[in-house]
């Protein structure tokens, strides 16, 4: 979920009238642009995308980087085909548009659709590439349309000059029965540098391949993108929380071996981690059932169901703290009991405390307390003496 500002450079030159990509090169390009915009805005809600055309009367910015998908889709209407593609000017204007983005924290990226022939020298393109690299702008090039060895060589050189740590890519799409957008779905342009891919891309790929239920969480991201995003985010949060809990549990088990309770918690924790790990591995092959189970867990956690891992982590915290310091354990008990005292009447409490079996059962349920511990036993004895003392005081006062 990289925070990114993207400028898409569209080729609307005369060469886009050709029908070797169905229905026309221009239409295939427009579909691909729509798909990219959707993927970018879904992968991170703060991403912005802008569009400019490179041919026609000159390079024209149709929409400056915005996160409003509707605006972007609207500007794609009524575009006219004509003229010749001006690659260098297009990239430079895109760079300028990105420079003036509102959120300076966003990474800069330019996506170029190069359909027509490239009239610039390789040297010029390499200079432009170096300048992009210097200003840490990433560049993705989609080479389609005109097939020309010189063009391919120039574009490869351009991307090689810009490439910094595999952030820039070039994709060659030959004409054929596959739609341009389908071919692009499997490329790094969509999957975003191997970050695990956006659920959007995976879902769309499954739909395109005619898969049965390829949508994560049974919700079509196209129909309800916000819900799909919310579910995916909660899933990732749950996974992160479980991993953190598992880590903590691992620390605990290395610290102290006394509590049988914590070891059982470890078992449940490691189970959950195992299931989440297997989930992340087989993302595409997941059955609906597994996802439902994890989703149930996520929902249950958000509703604070005591049977879930949240409480387990809290218990782990307590036991970890208590194990370190016996005095702390006593203090914890006292505070718990004092709290109980404040609530109910004193006489009632006195009766309850006098009931040693009740007290010992309470203490046993508290994590980090071993009822057979001598200091605990002393405390119990003193607790029992206290109510008796209080009764004596009362009698004296009277």
Partner 1 sequence: MACLHDHSCEDHDCSSDWSLYKHIDIPKVSALNEAVPGSVKSVFKAWEQRLSSLEGFLESNEGDPELIVFIPFTSDVKIKSISIVGGADGTSPIKMRAFINREGIDFSDAQSMQAVQEWDLAENLQGVLEYQTRYSRFQGVGNLTLHFPDNYGGDMSRIQYIGLKGEATQLKRDVVATIVYELMPNPSDHKTKSETGGGMSHVE
Query: Between 132 and 189, whose beta carbon lies closer to partner 1?
Result: 132
Smaller CB separation from partner 1, 103 or 385 = 103
List, in sequence order, every beta strand (DSSP E) within the chain.
Answer: 4-10, 48-53, 60-66, 107-114, 137-143, 169-172
Which residue, 166 or 257, is less far from partner 1 as judged by CB?
Answer: 166
- Report the distance separating Cα 382 and Cα 273, nearest Å: 44
Task: Give the shortest CB-163-to-partner 1 separation in angstroms.
Answer: 12
Helix 260-281 with 288-302: angle, nearest 10 deg? 130
Smallest separation, CB 101 to partner 1 (Å): 9
Cβ distance to partner 1 smaller for residue 129 or 350: 129
Instruction: Indicate the residue among 48 and 143 with the shorter CB distance to partner 1.
Output: 48
Nearest of 81, 78, 6 to residue 38 by alpha carbon: 6
Please say which residue, 152 or 164, places its beta carbon nearer to partner 1.
Answer: 164
The answer to whether 48 and 98 have CB atoms below 8 angstroms apart is no
Site for partner 1 in 316-375 (CB under 8 A): none
18 binds partner 1 (CB under 8 A): no
Is 164 a binding residue for partner 1 by CB under 8 A? The answer is yes
Site stretch for partner 1 (CB under 8 A), options 33-41, 99-107, 177-185, 257-265: 99-107
Determine the length of the chain: 398
Please state the closest distance from residue 51 (CB atom) to partner 1, in A: 17
Window contacting partner 1 (CB under 8 A); options: 95-103, 253-261, 292-300, 321-329: 95-103
Which residue of 57, 77, 104, 398 would you call a contact of partner 1, by CB under 8 A?
Answer: 104
- Pick 10 or 162: Cβ nearer partner 1: 162
Q: Choose which of 17, 99, 247, 314 interacts with partner 1 (CB under 8 A).
A: 99
User: Residue 303 contacts by C-beta under 8 Å, 6 or more apart in sequence?
Assistant: none
Contacts of 136 (CB under 8 A, 6+ apart): 107, 108, 164
C-alpha to C-alpha distance for 149 and 154, rounded to whole angstroms: 9
48-53 and 60-66 beta bridge pairing: antiparallel
Residue 194 interacts with partner 1 (CB under 8 A)?
Answer: no
56 is written with which tokens? Answer: 């026609």
Query: Closer CB to partner 1, residue 125 or residue 228?
Result: 125
Buried b (16+ CB within 10 A) or exposed e, 325-346: eeeebbebbeeebeeebeeeee
Cα 68–Cα 73–Cα 75 angle in degrees, nearest 5: 100
| C-beta of 86 vs 95, nearer to partner 1 | 95
Nearest to 297 by CA among 312, 317, 282: 312
By CB under 8 A, residue 282 contacts partner 1: no
Q: Whole-angstrom Cα distance, residue 227 to residue 224?
A: 6
Minimum Å gap between C-beta 283 and partner 1 is 28
Our finding on whether 102 is near partner 1 (CB under 8 A) is yes
Q: Minimum CB separation from partner 1 for residue 5, in Å? A: 11
CB of residue 243 to partner 1, shortest distance in Å: 20
Contact flags string 202-231 toward partner 1, x per CB under 8 A: ------------------------------
What does the block give as tokens for 281?
Answer: 């591995």
**Using rule CB under 8 A, residue 103 touches partner 1:** yes
DSSP-assigned letters across all residues of 151-178: HHHHHHHHHHHH-SSS--EEEE--SSSS
Stretch that binds partner 1, among 100-108, 139-147, 237-245, 268-276 (CB under 8 A): 100-108
Query: Which residue number, 135 or 382, has a Cβ lying nearer to partner 1?
Result: 135
Beta bridge partners of residue 8, listed in sequence order: 51, 111
Q: Quickly list DSSP for 255-275.
A: H----HHHHHHHHHHHHHHHH
Give the footprint of partner 1 on residues 114-143 (CB under 8 A). 130, 133-136
- CA–CA gap between residue 237 and residue 310 (Å, rounded): 13
Least distance in angstroms from the C-beta of 260 to partner 1:
41
Q: Which of 77, 78, 165, 254 binds partner 1 (CB under 8 A)?
A: 165
Residues binding partner 1 (CB under 8 A): 99, 102-104, 130, 133-136, 164-165
């Amino acid at each position: 979920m990289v925070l990114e500002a993207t400028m898409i450079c569209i080729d609307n030159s005369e060469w886009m009238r050709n029908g070797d990509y169905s229905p026309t090169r221009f239409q295939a390009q427009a579909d691909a642009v729509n798909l990219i915009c959707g993927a970018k805005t879904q992968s991170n809600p703060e991403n912005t995308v802008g569009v400019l055309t490179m041919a026609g009367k000159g390079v024209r910015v149709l929409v400056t980087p915005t996160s409003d998908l509707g605006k972007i889709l609207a500007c794609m209407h009524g575009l006219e085909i004509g003229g010749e593609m001006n690659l260098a000017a297009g990239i430079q204007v895109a760079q300028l548009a990105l420079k003036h983005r509102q959120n300076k924290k966003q990474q800069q990226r330019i996506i170029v659709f190069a359909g027509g022939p490239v009239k610039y020298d390789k040297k010029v393109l390499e200079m432009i590439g170096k300048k992009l690299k210097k200003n840490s702008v990433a560049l993705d090039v989609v080479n389609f349309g005109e097939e020309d060895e010189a063009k391919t060589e120039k574009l490869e050189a351009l991307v090689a000059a810009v490439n910094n740590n595999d952030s820039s890519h070039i994709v060659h799409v030959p004409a054929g029965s596959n739609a341009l957008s389908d071919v692009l779905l499997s490329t790094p342009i969509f999957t975003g540098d191997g970050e695990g891919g956006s659920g959007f891309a995976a879902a769309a790929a499954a739909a395109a391949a005619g898969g049965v239920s390829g949508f994560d969480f049974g919700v079509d991201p196209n129909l309800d993108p916000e819900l799909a995003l919310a579910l995916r985010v909660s899933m990732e949060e749950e996974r992160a929380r479980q991993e953190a809990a598992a880590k903590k549990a691992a620390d605990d088990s290395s610290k102290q071996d006394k509590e049988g309770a914590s070891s059982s918690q470890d078992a449940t924790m490691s189970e959950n981690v195992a299931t989440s790990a297997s989930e992340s591995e087989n993302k595409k092959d997941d059955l609906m059932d597994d996802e439902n189970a994890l989703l149930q867990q996520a929902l249950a956690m958000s509703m604070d169901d005591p049977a879930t891992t949240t409480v387990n982590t809290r218990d782990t915290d307590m036991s970890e703290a208590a194990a370190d310091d016996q005095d702390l354990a006593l203090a914890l008990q006292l505070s718990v009991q004092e709290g109980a005292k404040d609530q109910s009447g004193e006489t009632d409490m006195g009766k309850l405390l006098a009931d040693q079996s009740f007290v010992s059962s309470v203490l046993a349920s508290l994590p980090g307390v071993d009822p057979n511990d001598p200091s605990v036993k002393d405390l119990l004895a003193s607790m029992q003496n206290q109510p008796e003392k209080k009764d004596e005081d009362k009698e004296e006062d009277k």
